Amino acid sequence: MRAESPLGPFVYLDHLATTPADPRVVEAMRPWLSERFGHPASRSHRLGWEAEEAVEAARARVADLLKVEPREIVFTSGGTEADNLAVKGVADAYGARGRHVVTTAVENRPVLDSCRWLEETRAFAVTRVPCSFTGRVSAENVAAALREGTILVCVQAANQETGTTQPIAEIAAACAGRNLLVHVDATFAGGWLELDPRRDGVHLMSLSANKLGGPKGAGALYVRRKDPRVRLAPQLHGGSHERGLRAGTVDVAGAVGFGVAASIVRETREAAAATVRRLRDRLEAAVLERVPEASVHGDREHRLPNVTNLSFAGVEAESLLMGMQDVAAAAGAGCTSALVEPSYVFEAMGLAADVAARSVRFSLGRSTTREEIDFAIERIVATVAKVRALGAPPIPVARRKP
């Protein structure tokens, strides 16, 4: 086993939540946390110049991952801030042109909550486009939702629960020529999909370093500078950092680590995706073969290579996870207090709340090994059988609309 806990072997299959930082990332960050501590906006001495150079080098590396210009990358504190800056920044900058936003029913919370905030505080109208039973959103349905006054379309590259990917280029093409902007949350896709916002007709794209082998607390927003030049109203005030779009001192160490992680992904993505897909398929096939009444959720053709979302009849997700504490995975529904909330993603897919309460997301990473997958298979099979034998009572479910 790659990892050990005080209780023995431990397999981490929750890489969609966060990934371990690559050792090369940690080593590159180390000097910027101690002796090279300068402020990148300090222009009057060597430490400041060094820090600025490091940030700009990191910016170029992140830009290379997206095939864009370095000056189109704005560093943030993570994907959540990047999403907020994109959605609210566009609303504030283009609100005089129109007050309608289109998104999907399966977007990640930062986008959905930002859109709700626009409805509640800025008198915007928001259309949430439905998805198919596999979680895919069609370009035709997005186009049908557009109207006079639509200024922004938000669609994720890949879903946070099922790994289902969306037809970004097709959706952007359906929006072309309509005087609106397209924002893509690529937080969960950054380490696995080829991202090219210019090729695909995307104007804004959010990334998070900790989803691709980088540090937590570092993110970025791609903001197109020409054809068209995108304007954003800053959401943080207190300085002119990041070309006036994001106040606050740039985390130099975080930016450096992000840059190294981005370069590693760019150089190894195809090979890593092929390897992890084989491991994911091995896990999925073995569990489906050996566990009666097991199901896969999401689109099995259009999905990230490292994700499978499984449910098991008669087995609550929390019971399964508690029963195999030597395997880390994620319940398909978020927890609040003592309740498990039904997944709004599963609800949008037309699945019952009890199915959502039984779903478990297994997400693999670059460091996942075949040995770990085989260990996880045995633990899943044994734990499902044990929970079913015990007849564990269902966990109460509370409803919450997105």
CATH of the domain at 135: 3.40.640.10
CA-nearest of 74, 77, 51 to 62 is 74
Secondary structure of residue 363 in the 3-state scheme: strand
CB 83 within 8 A of CB 251: no
Decide if pLDDT at 402 tops 60.
no
* Domain carrying residue 174: 23-264
Q: 195-206: buried (b, 16+ CB within 10 Å) or exposed (e) per residue?
A: bbbbebbbbbbb
In a domain, 206, yes or no: yes
Q: Which of 131, 154, 175, 335 is catalytic?
A: 335
To the query of whether residue 175 is one of the catalytic residues in this protein, the response is no
Q: Are residues 35 and 96 in the same domain?
A: yes
In a domain, 204, yes or no: yes
Average pLDDT over residues 367-384: 97
Computed over every residue of the chain, the mean pLDDT equals: 92
Total domains, the chain: 2
CA quadruple 278, 302, 136, 197: dihedral positive or negative? Answer: positive
CB 9 within 8 A of CB 1: yes
- pLDDT digit string (tens) for 62-79? 999 999 999 999 999 999
Considering the chain, what percentage of its residues have pLDDT values greater than 90? 84
Query: Domain end: 264, 280, 304, which one?
Result: 264
| pLDDT category of residue 4 using cuts at 50, 70 and 90 | low
Q: Are residues 50 and 199 in the same domain?
A: yes
CATH number at residue 367: 3.90.1150.10
Instruction: Return the pLDDT at 241.
Output: 85
Single pTM value for the model: 0.93
